Amino acid sequence: MKIVITGGGGFVGSHAALTYAQQGHEVVIIDSLARGRLLKKDIPTHNWDRLEAVEGVTRVKGDICDFGLLKDTIAGADAIIHTAAQTAVTTSVVNPVPDFASNAIGTFHVLEAARQQDIKTVVYASTNKVYGENVNAVPIVEEEQRYAFDKVKGITEEFSIDRCEHTPYGCSKLTGDLYAQDYGHLYGLRTGVFRMSCIYGTHQFGVEDQGWVAWFTIATLMNKPITIFGDGKQVRDVLYVSDLVNAYDTFIKSKVKHGVWNTGGGPSNTMSLLELLDILEEATGKRAAMSFGDWRPSDQKVYISDITKIGKELGWKPTVGPKQGVQKLVEWVQANKQLF
């Protein structure tokens, strides 16, 4: 197959690119490298650079909002994996214009280019943030180190996306989510919408406002202070990046026409911020200096994906547990301290 990956120089996109290249497929990645520039370090092109010498991977530096370039890049593709996005909630609040341009307009361009070029399959990397503050209406209980849902095991795809605050990031990603669904229904594209929970893994440059599992790991090992916004009992289901790529691949190679799937570790793979610090202390013998700040806008105290639907429709389930995944991340950071 020929697989085109938008945001292929990013964390998830580069993992997907490497996976397909190792399988012998032709891979084309397109990336503006905007995310890397936000890191304000000498590592903005790490994931882009590591694909340079990989056989079967072609790199195109460009913006998905450049419609002509995008159409040329995807020509002849069997599938598009659309991971390009502005990914940080706090960035979207401070500067919503580029967030909308990338996440809403950029996604529209990908779908319209696919329609015009007769590309049949599009994977859209959506987010649990499409449910917004509605999640906080679900009853919870407070435990010693975490919050937990009181009445449900997880959030299903039928949960309301409407009549609540989302943040600009949630709104822009929801726009793309809905357009991906509609292009499937209206124009016959095979569209897989993956509403992702917290994805983590190696080659992830987590920072304070995005990628918390990687950020806590980097901060612990590099002796950097951590600020916890809220009380640290917030809980997420976490999913190791290789399991996410496998979910994408399962859809692409299936006969499923289209679908919307909550995609995370599910109820069996959860942790709070405080619990992650304990896991890191066990793995490294260190505990980062920590302070607390105000809750962030529309933060969800608990978000856990109900992954029943994706299990039934795609036969997919996570395989890497939190302790195993965090250990992989620890080992990668330890081996690459020069990057931080």
Which parts of the chain sit beneath pLDDT 70?
36-44
What does pTM read for this prediction? Answer: 0.96
Q: What are phi and psi of 262, to 5 degrees?
A: -70, 125
Enumerate the domain spans of the chain: 2-339
By three-state DSSP, how is residue 212 classified? helix
Active-site residue, selected from the candidate residues 169, 183, 240, 248: 169
Residue 41 has a pLDDT of 56
Instruction: Verify whether residue 20 is a known catalytic residue.
Output: no
Residue 51 DSSP code:
T
State the chain's maximal CA–CA distance in angstroms: 55
CATH superfamily of domain region 2-339: NAD(P)-binding Rossmann-like Domain (3.40.50.720)
Residue 88 has a pLDDT of 86
Residue 43 has a pLDDT of 58
Residue 91 has a pLDDT of 87
Whether 90 and 135 have beta carbons less than 8 Å apart is answered as no
Residue 179 has a pLDDT of 98
Residue 25 has a pLDDT of 98
Residue 127 has a pLDDT of 97
Residue 71 has a pLDDT of 98
Residue 34 has a pLDDT of 83
In whole angstroms, how far apart are CA 161 and each of 23, 94, 149, 166, 220? Answer: 37, 23, 18, 9, 36
